Amino acid sequence: MLPPTFGPWQTVYGYFNRWRQDGHWQRILQALIRQPRTRQGRPPTPSAGGIDAQSVKTATQGRAIGYDPGKRVKGRKRHLLVDSQGSILQCKVTAANISDTAGLKALLGAYFLLGVQRLKRVWVDAGYRGQVLNTWVANLKRTHKIVLDVGEKPRDGFTLLKRRWVVERTFAWLGNYRIHAKDYEVLTCNSKAFIHIVMIHLLLKRKAVEEEF
């Protein structure tokens, strides 16, 4: 369904797949996140961020599909680690039946594989609780000096939780792209690559506006 000016779809997919396998999409994204921080005289990597997960329906009978009883969604779950501006530092796509706790562990584990060690505080909601997670977080605090800041659910009505709205806004940004209305990919690795591409597009648009003014 590509416009003819893009050339044969096999060629386009070949580049997309090769760049995914080589990690190019993630490296481009990390470079775009670091550039404005460096221009502002700040360290290239953040010291704080937020984590949350979103369950979405799938449009194909692909791999890694499960049922999230809490959200009543059959499909996949997107786990995001974002900085204080909402830029995606790391993401994971799993079956929807994978717990938020398991997603958090996978996110931080993958993030530290990048060699980044400045992250010291992570904001999460009340769903990230449990004895197993508490033990894991205690070990993480000892090895990486990270504090998990758990926001409490409001008892009455709706209350905007401090710092928690940032990651929710990032999910809203993804939802503005039709490709993320559902998960259309057979492979979760391709779903992750398209999340990177959307974030790259958003940051490039932001950079173009900054340079114009």
Structure confidence at residue 141 (pLDDT): 72
The predicted structure's pLDDT at residue 182: 93
pLDDT in tens, 67-114: 999 899 999 999 999 998 899 999 999 999 999 888 988 898 888 888
In the chain, what's the furthest Cα-to-Cα distance? 56
Q: Enumerate residue ranges in the chain where pLDDT < 70.
A: 130-132, 152-162, 213
pLDDT of residue 61: 77
CA gap 49, 86 in Å, rounded = 8
Which pLDDT score is estimated for 131? 64
Instruction: Tell me how far the alpha carbon of residue 126 is from its chain's centroid.
Output: 19
**48 and 83 Cβ atoms separated by less than 8 Å:** yes
What is residue 162's predicted lDDT score, i.e. its pLDDT?
Answer: 65
Tokens of 209: 């506006």
**32 DSSP β-pair partners:** none
Domains annotated on the chain, with CATH: 45-212 (3.30.420.10)
Global pTM exceeds 0.85: yes
Note the pLDDT of residue 114.
80
